[in-house]
Amino acid sequence: MPPVPEAVTEFLAQKRIAVAGVSRTPQQPANAIYRRLRDTGHEVFATNPEAERVEGDPCWPGLGALPSPVDGVVIATPPPAAADVVREAAELGITRVWIHRSFGEGSVADEAVSLCRRKGISVIVGGCPMMFCGKVDPFHRCMRWFLQMRGRIEA
């Protein structure tokens, strides 16, 4: 297995993480990421402008509405919304962003990635926190190996 990128280690060392794009539909990738981070001891905050509660927890319309600051944000929104999340993160001084992607484009949008770089935000492009966080299930372990070997996790 390739080593864990330093940016991933630093991101997961944070205690307070927002997950943008958590859905009222529990089967969505954002929800699985939210649950895994919560289950591994992180204080997580769900954002979705269309939901007041997700996964039995409060949900906020955006990063600016959170009850307290976060250290980083996982973006698991449709790609067109990713740049807006990055802009909001930059305005709030959030310095770490992970843009989710497994197969296909995921949440990655060129505008969001370039905006992170212009604003000095440490960005992980691709992959999923579930490939590195806590006890990694066989599916995510295989996916991690495959995506790292193909250069699809840019950190």
pLDDT higher than 90, residue 139: no
The candidate with the shortest Cα–Cα distance to 77, out of 136, 131, 18, is 18
Q: DSSP character for 3?
A: P
- Name the amino acid, one letter, at 103: F
For 122, phi then psi, to 5°, come to -70, 120
Q: Name the fold adopted by 6-149.
A: Rossmann fold (3.40.50)
Q: DSSP character for 122?
A: E
Segment 7-62, tens digit of pLDDT: 999 999 999 999 999 999 988 999 999 999 999 999 999 999 999 999 999 999 99
Q: Residue 58 CB: number of other CB atoms within 10 A?
A: 13
pLDDT higher than 80, residue 64: yes
pTM, 2 dp: 0.92
**Average pLDDT taken over every residue of the chain:** 91
- State the pLDDT at residue 1: 57
Q: In what order do the strands lie in the sheet with 53-54?
A: 53-54, 57-60, 43-47, 16-20, 72-75, 96-99, 122-125
CB-count exposure of residue 120 (10 Å: 0-12, 13-18, 19+) = exposed
Annotated domain spans of the chain: 6-149
